[in-house]
Structure 1
C-alpha cells in the first residue's frame, strides 16, 4: 500500500495556517499548557534560528485568542477545561535587522500601530515605550481581561551589531526603552513570553524586569522546540517510509542518515535527542539528505565573532564548561562559547554531576560541514570554489585508500593559493588541514593525547585510521620518526581498523606540502 506524502510546513510559522491547511504538525501543545499554567507569567526561551520559536509563539497566540477549534485532537484539548479569550499583542522583531537608531524606532512604532488601530489609539506621537504602556492599559480596560504580550526574536535587531562596540549600546538602549513598560504594567498582564537566539542580561535589555523566568535549560521544556527522536519515530512514522522509498534505501538506513546529519541537539541534561526541525522537514519534503539549515544562511555576526576571538576551526568542537559559562549573557562573554551554544553551533553532549561541568560539541554532520565551509575562505581566499572541488576529489582518493594521490592533489592545489601574512607556523597548517579534512565528512581530531605525547591529527574513515604528524621546514622523515619514537599507534591499537602513519612536511616558502611519507602500522 502506497503511503500518501504529507504537506510539510517549510517556512510556515503560523499555527492556524498549519492546522487549517492540514500541514504536518508535531504536537507541542502540552508544553503550551504547562507554560501557561505555571507559577511565573513571565517567560523567556532561547533556541537557535529556525528551531520552531515563531511557530511556538503563534501557537500561544491562537491559544490565548480562544481558538479552541484549532486544537481539536491535540494534547491540550484534554488538558484545558476553560477556554478564555484574552487580548493578545504579538510583536515580531525578526525584520528589525540592519537598522540604525531612527529606523529601529520607526519599526517598533509600526509594530504598535496595527494594535493601536484596533483599540482606537492611532496617531500618537509619544515615544514607543509610552505607546506600549498606553496600549496595554487600553486593551485591558476595553476588554476587561488581562493582556498577553508575545515578543518573537526579541534580539534580532542586535545580532548583526553584536561585534560593534559603537552601535550595539545605541540599539540596545532602544530595545530596553521599548521593553521597559512590561514591569510597570504587571497588573494588566496575563502572560508575557519572549523568544530569541542569544541571552542578553536583564540589566541591559529588560531593565527592572528581574522576575522573568528563563526556561531555556529547564528539563520539562527540553523538547519544546525541535523534533525529538520519539516524535519523529511516532508522529512521522509514515514519512520515514516515504523518504526511504524516494531514496531507495531501507527505513533503518534513512533513520541512521537523518540521525547523523540532523540529530544531536540537547538544551539541558538529561534530554531527549532533538533533531533540527527545518532540516528534517526539508529532507522529508525534497526526498534527500542535504545541508538545509546551514545553507539557509550563516549569520555574519558568527564569522565576525570567531575572527574577533581568534577561534581556530579545531577549537570550535569538544570543550567542557559550567552552565554559567555558556548559558550566559552574550554581551558579557569573554570567549565565544555562549554565542556558539545559543546559536546552535555547539550543544550539550554530556554532564558530570560531580564537577557540574557540561561537555559541549558540534551537534551533527550538517553543522560541522557547514562551519568548515564557512571558515574555508579564511585560508583559500578567492579560491574557495576550487577548494571545494579539490575536497571532493580528495574524498574520492581517500575513500579509495589512495592517500598518496590525495596528498599529491593537495600539494598541487595549495601551491596555487596566495598566502596571508603570519602563516609561517605549524599551527596554521594544522588548522588548514583540519578544515579541509573535516569537509570530507570523516572523523577528524587534533592534538589527540597518547601516553607519550600528542598526535597532531587523527582521521578515521570507514576502513582506515590515519595518524598524521606535521612538520614545518623539516622533513617527512622527521615527522615519521616522531610517530615511531613516541609509538602513537599504540594508543589506537584496539580501534578495530588498520592504522596508517602519515608524516607531512610543509615548506614556508612555497606554502604547501614539500614531502611526505606513508607507512602502515604492523
Structure 2
C-alpha cells in the first residue's frame, strides 16, 4: 500500500497516524545510546529535519507513549525484535522550542523566553499529572527562566523521586543567532557569565549532576551561542561533525528513492532514476563531515518538489521552496561584520568558482576578531556552503546544489542593484531568455547587459573587468529556472566563461556557450583583436564539449566600456 508524501509537520505521531511516509532514522537511537555522551548538541541548517527527529525521540522515550509503542515504531528499525533498547518509554520528556521567539524588540526577548519555559513546564505537569493546582500556580509569577527551572526540578524531585528527565530543545540558538546578526552587544549580554541564557543552562547542568536530568538533546544551526556559554555548560558534546551522525537529518539518495517508490511512483508514468538525477542537481550536495561517504538531500526541498510533481507528474515552475530561497539575506547578515574588501572577496570567489578554501571555526571567541574564517564557517553551518574535502585543517567548501547557487546570485543581484542604484526589468529579462530558447539568439540578453553598463557611473567602471561582465550576465540568468548556468566550466582547453544547459522546465533543447571580453576603451584594431581572440578561445571549448556530446550555440561577446559591444556567433 502506498503512503502519503509527508507534510511539513514535525510531529512524529501525526506522520505515522496519517499513513505518511517516514524516512526511517530510528537506528540512530541505538547509535546515540552506544556513545558515552548523554548530553548532546546537534547542529544542522534550518528545515533539515531536526524538529521531526526530536519528536521521534520524544515518542520513543516518553513514558506517556508506552501504550502506543508498537503502533508508532513497529514498522521501523527500532521497533523490530532485538533492536529496541532498554531505555524505551522510560523518561519524562521536557520539551522546549525557541524558534518562535521574536527579536525585533530586544528588551522583550527574555520575557518571551521565560514564557516558553513556563508554558512547557505547565504542559509537562499536566501531561504527567504532577503536583497540585497550588503547585502549578508557583510558575505563574514573574520568574526568570533559571528560577522557573529550579522550582520545576524541586517539584519534580518531590513528586517523582526516582524519575528521570530527558530534555529536548529545538532551535536552541534561533533568537541568539538573530541577535548575533543585528545586535552584537545584546547578544554578549544574554550569553555572558551573568547572562540569563547562560544561567538557564547552568541550572540544567546542576540537575544533571544530581541525576534528575539523565539525557539532553538540543538542536540548532550554529555553534556561536554554544561556544559563548561553554564554561557554564561544559557537560554537553557537540556531535555535528561526527561522521556517525552525518545522515541523522537529511536524506541519502537511497532514502530519497525509497520515498519516491513508496509514495508517488506509478509504473510507466516516469523513470525514478531520471527524476532522481534531476533532483540531485537541485537539492543534493550537503556534506557535514569530512569523513562522510555520501551527500545529503535537503528534506524540505525534496518534499515540496514531490508534493507538486505528484499531481500530474510534471515539474513545477518553481523548483525551489520559497521558504528556503528567501533566506538569501542571511548571507548579508553573516558577511556584515567583515570589512567591505573581505566580504566582496568571499562573494567574488564563491560566485566565480563555486568554491572557497578556508579553515573551519569550531569554537567562536568574541574576544578575538571576526574574520573571513568565521564568516565562511557560518556559511557552512547555515548550509550555504558544504564540505567537498579537507586536508589537515584546511577545508575545501563548495556550493551544495543549484538552489543554494541561485540564493547566492539572488543576494549578489540585491547587493549590486542597491549599491549601484539600479532597477532590473524582469519582463525584459524574461523576454531575453525566451528569445534564447525559442529562437536560439542572444541579442536581447546582450543588449540588456549593455543597458546595465550604460547606467553605471564612470567610477564604477574604473576597476571593471571580464569577471564583472560575467557576474552581470549571471544575475540575469540565475533568476529563472530555464538554464543550469555553469561559470568557469573546465575542460582540456581551459575554462569557458559561461555554459548554459536547459533544465527540464525549458522547452528549448539548445545549450549555449559564451566567451566574454571587456575593454575599457579601444580602437577598431583593438576591438577586432579582442573579438578574434574570444572566437579562437571559445572555438576550442566548443570542440572539446562536442567531443563529450555537449553541442552548443556558441558566441564570442566583446564590450567596450559602456559605449559599444560586438557579438560573433561561432559555427
Same fold (TM over 0.5): yes
CA contact (8 A) 2:519 2:558 kept: yes
What 5-or-longer segments of structure 2 have no aligned partner? 126-130, 310-314, 502-509
Corresponding position of 1:386: 425
Alignment map for 1:315-326 (pairs within 5 Å): 315-316=350-351, 318-321=354-357, 324-325=359-360
DSSP 3-state at the match of 1:232: helix
Q: How many residues align?
A: 504
DSSP 3-state at the match of 1:459: strand
Give the whole-Å Cα distance in 2 for the aligned partners of 1:56 and 1:88: 14
Q: Determine which of 475, 495, 515 is the counterpart of 1:435.
A: 475
CA contact (8 A) 1:278 1:293 kept: yes
In the TM superposition, residue 123 of structure 1 has moved relative to its aligned partner by: 3.2
CA contact (8 A) 1:124 1:131 kept: no
Give the whole-Å Cα distance in 2 for the aligned partners of 1:385 and 1:243: 45
Give the whole-Å Cα distance in 1 for the aligned partners of 2:453 and 2:517: 20
CA contact (8 A) 1:46 1:195 kept: yes
Corresponding position of 1:219: 243
CA 1:286–1:417 in 2, change beyond 3 Å: closer, same or farther? farther
What is the RMSD computed on CA atoms of the aligned residues?
Answer: 3.4
Corresponding position of 1:148: 166
CA 1:396–1:328 in 2, change beyond 3 Å: closer, same or farther? farther
Give the whole-Å Cα distance in 1 for the aligned partners of 2:164 and 2:410: 49
Corresponding position of 1:46: 43
Corresponding position of 1:358: 395
CA contact (8 A) 1:340 1:346 kept: yes
1:71 aligns with 2:95: no
DSSP 3-state at the match of 1:274: coil
Give the whole-Å Cα distance in 2 for the aligned partners of 1:176 and 1:476: 65
1:445 aligns with 2:487: yes
CA 1:407–1:314 in 2, change beyond 3 Å: closer, same or farther? farther
1:293 aligns with 2:321: yes
* CA deviations over 1:425-465 (Å, ceiling 9, x no partner): 315444322332344533332597999xx868333436343
CA contact (8 A) 1:465 1:498 kept: no
In the TM superposition, residue 365 of structure 1 has moved relative to its aligned partner by: 1.7
Corresponding position of 1:410: 448
CA contact (8 A) 1:362 1:368 kept: yes
Corresponding position of 1:180: 202
In the TM superposition, residue 469 of structure 1 has moved relative to its aligned partner by: 2.4
CA contact (8 A) 1:36 1:191 kept: no
CA contact (8 A) 2:169 2:218 kept: yes
* CA deviations over 1:125-155 (Å, ceiling 9, x no partner): 4432232233234324422222111111011
In the TM superposition, residue 80 of structure 1 has moved relative to its aligned partner by: 1.7
CA 1:207–1:8 in 2, change beyond 3 Å: closer, same or farther? farther
Q: Determine which of 493, 502, 505 is the counterpart of 2:556.
A: 502
DSSP 3-state at the match of 2:294: coil
Greater shift in the superposed pair: 85-94 or 68-77:
68-77
In the TM superposition, residue 333 of structure 1 has moved relative to its aligned partner by: 4.5
What 5-or-longer segments of structure 1 have no aligned partner? none
DSSP 3-state at the match of 1:166: helix
CA contact (8 A) 1:65 1:85 kept: yes
CA contact (8 A) 2:228 2:364 kept: no
Alignment map for 1:43-442 (pairs within 5 Å): 43-66=40-63, 67-68=65-66, 69=69, 70-78=72-80, 79-82=83-86, 83-117=88-122, 118=125, 119=131, 120=135, 121-143=138-160, 144-164=162-182, 165-172=184-191, 173-187=195-209, 188-200=212-224, 202-242=226-266, 245=269, 249-268=270-289, 269-287=291-309, 288-289=315-316, 290-296=318-324, 297-298=326-327, 300-306=329-335, 309-310=343-344, 311-312=346-347, 315-316=350-351, 318-321=354-357, 324-325=359-360, 329=364, 333-335=370-372, 336-348=375-387, 350-352=388-390, 355=392, 357-381=394-418, 386-387=425-426, 389-399=427-437, 402-411=440-449, 413-414=451-452, 422=460, 424-427=462-465, 428-439=468-479, 441-442=483-484
CA 1:261–1:419 in 2, change beyond 3 Å: closer, same or farther? farther
Give the whole-Å Cα distance in 2 for the aligned partners of 1:390 and 1:141: 71
CA contact (8 A) 2:190 2:197 kept: yes
Alignment map for 1:458-473 (pairs within 5 Å): 458-461=498-501, 463-473=511-521
DSSP 3-state at the match of 2:544: coil
* CA deviations over 1:337-359 (Å, ceiling 9, x no partner): 112111111212x3255x55433
CA 1:34–1:141 in 2, change beyond 3 Å: closer, same or farther? farther
DSSP 3-state at the match of 2:327: coil
Q: TM-score, normalised by structure 1?
A: 0.84
Q: TM-score, normalised by structure 2?
A: 0.78
Give the whole-Å Cα distance in 2 for the aligned partners of 1:140 and 1:377: 55
In the TM superposition, residue 48 of structure 1 has moved relative to its aligned partner by: 0.9
Greater shift in the superposed pair: 39-48 or 456-465:
456-465
Give the whole-Å Cα distance in 1 for the aligned partners of 2:544 and 2:79: 54
